[in-house]
Amino acid sequence: MGSIEGIITGFQTAFNIESILFVMLGVFAGTIIGMLPGLGPISAIAVMIPMTFGMDPSVALIMMAGVYYGAIFGGSTSAILLNAPGVSGTVATAFDGYPMAQQGKAGKALAIAAISSFVGGTVSVILLMLLAPILSSVAISFGPPAYFALMVLGLTAIASLSEGSTIKALISAVAGFMVVTIGIDPQSGTQRYTFGNVNLLEGLDFLVIALGLFALAEVCTLVLKRKDQSFRNLHNIGSLKLTKKDFKEMSGPMSRQSFLGFLIGVLPGAGATIASFIAYISEKKIAKNPEEFGKGSVKGLAAPETANNAATSGAFVPLLSLGIPGSGTTAVMLGAFLVLGVQPGPMLMTERPEIFWGVIASMYIGNIFLLILNLPLIPYFAKVLKIPRPLLISLVIIFSMIGVYAVSFNTFDLYMLLLFGVIGFIMRLFAFPAPPFILAFILGGMLEQSLRQSLTISNGDLMIFLTNPISSALLILSLLSFVFPLIGQIRKRKG
């Protein structure tokens, strides 16, 4: 069967009433799950697996896919309003989204997030439809040396993420690297920094760090700076309306990051988180006014939000066309496929075109529905900020704890959350920025593993990073992103 015929079958599958109903249900559930810090798409999809017994597999998978991208779409809300990124792909959203909310522009921030999510989601679905068969070769083209180089490129963001002291940003990043090594090392099987505690064997979950350093540290600050005027604005929601100027500012990041985010999403293991960070730094690098980033920049919010949604569609490339799950969520989806009697792999496209193309085609409907669902509800979501502060603060604490507990139903994680809340607050007191810490934590694991995999393969020869064309290109790019700002500074001094 040709691709065109397959696409038509896909649209027929996606546009029947049952599929539309379930994609709506999926994205609605996904939005809600994404909004609540801590409840991620992984647990939501896992819970759904037994419910889908007996359902038509294409409909069931369309719904689960809806939960997945719906959660990334909705995840921005808590990051913007409460500085509590509940999904790792929305950490970068908080960098400019939360300052915007603090300035009394929460409504606008949510609108920007919704529109750029929609654009990123839709453009990437078009790319997915056009390029999925071709891109499967891109998805596997990255070996360990290339991943290492990609992580290095991601780490150049530390320089961009530091406000003020670069030394403090670096110290913060090193601490992040140290924390991510906790647990059993996959390459040797030995325990590192577990102190014989069985709860630390698996290492610390991303949520413990993100909710501790961001949400709980913010709560501490809010409590202690009660009389500070600058937080008054948090009660204002402001207008939802975006001006022409806003749209003009958003259009650049949206068009670029839809493509870049999608491409990064295609790589197994990279995903929405890395896509959003790379989007944020690349836009900051090319922006005319990079100093606005981190203080409520429209571009700084639009870029990661476009990229994380685009990456979500990209993640379906290896899953659907190769049967390779690139992330925890797609791994659970792979399990769901198997339970439904569908074997994802290179043969899926020709043998079950209604499933392959049906899931892809349903994403158009899902994304439109997400926009329709989210835009009118923004004023209501934003009213969360009108909740009296003592109540709001308690709610943030409760939600953070529930989110962390739901990861593995282990009370030990709650103590860790409190610990990182305190660490985050101390870091703020002494002006150590938290973003480099979380960036190092997110990238550090893969950086170390891919470095060691590469060196095992090459028997310790470092040349493997230069002989591999992808990794050498990425390493040169990383080098340039360091050198260019330096040259600029030198020129300024001379002039």
Partner 1 sequence: MKKYLLLSILAMMLFFVACGSGENEEEEEATEASGSGSDSSDSEDVASDWEPEESIEIVAPAGAGGGWDTTARMAAQVFSEEGIIDQNIGVVNKEGGGGAVGWAYIAGFEGNPHKLFVASPPIIFIPLNGQSEYSYEDFTPISNLIADYAAFAVREDAEWDSINDLFDDMKEDPESITVVGASSPGSMDHMQFVQIAKAAGVDISKIKYVSAQDGGGLTQLLNGSVDVYSTGVAETVEQVRAGKIKVLGVSSEERLEGDVLEDFPTMIEQGIDETFINWRGFFGPPNMEADALAYYEAKFKELSDSDAFAEIRKQFGWEELYLTSEEYIQFLDEQNESLGNLMDELGLGN
Which residues in 390-419 contact partner 1 (CB under 8 A)?
395, 398-399, 402, 405-406, 408-410
Report residue 192: phi and psi, to 5°: -125, 130
Q: Does 230 bind partner 1 (CB under 8 A)?
A: no
Residue 268 near residue 39, CB atoms below 8 Å: no
Q: Within 76-135, which residues bind partner 1 (CB under 8 A)?
A: none
Residue 162 near residue 437, CB atoms below 8 Å: no
Q: Based on CB atoms, which residue is closest to partner 1, 96 or 413?
A: 413
Q: Based on CB atoms, which residue is closest to partner 1, 387 or 473?
A: 387
Q: Does 263 bind partner 1 (CB under 8 A)?
A: no
List the beta bridge partners of residue 191.
184
Q: Does 323 bind partner 1 (CB under 8 A)?
A: yes
Task: Select from 122-130, 227-235, 247-255, 316-324 the region that touches partner 1 (CB under 8 A).
Answer: 316-324
Q: Does 386 bind partner 1 (CB under 8 A)?
A: yes
Q: Based on CB atoms, which residue is closest to partner 1, 293 or 399?
A: 399
Q: Does 380 bind partner 1 (CB under 8 A)?
A: yes
Q: Within 337-376, which residues bind partner 1 (CB under 8 A)?
A: 338-339, 341, 343-347
CB of 289 to partner 1, least distance (A): 36
CB of 455 to partner 1, least distance (A): 10
CB of 226 to partner 1, least distance (A): 21
Q: What is the Cα–Cα distance from 301 to 90, expressed in whole angstroms?
A: 10
Q: Within 231-250, which residues bind partner 1 (CB under 8 A)?
A: none
Q: Based on CB atoms, which residue is closest to partner 1, 318 or 436?
A: 318
Q: Based on CB atoms, which residue is closest to partner 1, 261 or 268?
A: 268
CB of 113 to partner 1, least distance (A): 19
CB of 17 to partner 1, least distance (A): 26
Site string for partner 1, 450-479 (x = CB under 8 A): --xx--xx-x--------------------
* Separation in Å, CA 93 to CA 194, 210, 268, 277: 32, 13, 22, 9
- Interface with partner 1 (CB under 8 A), residue total 74
CB of 265 to partner 1, least distance (A): 14
Q: Does 332 bind partner 1 (CB under 8 A)?
A: yes
Q: Based on CB atoms, which residue is closest to partner 1, 343 or 489?
A: 343
Q: Based on CB atoms, which residue is closest to partner 1, 120 or 145?
A: 145
Identified binder of partner 1 from the candidate list 2, 17, 188, 430, rule CB under 8 A: 188
Q: Within 22-51, which residues bind partner 1 (CB under 8 A)?
A: 32-33, 36, 38-39, 42-43, 46-47, 49-51
Residue 321 near residue 132, CB atoms below 8 Å: yes
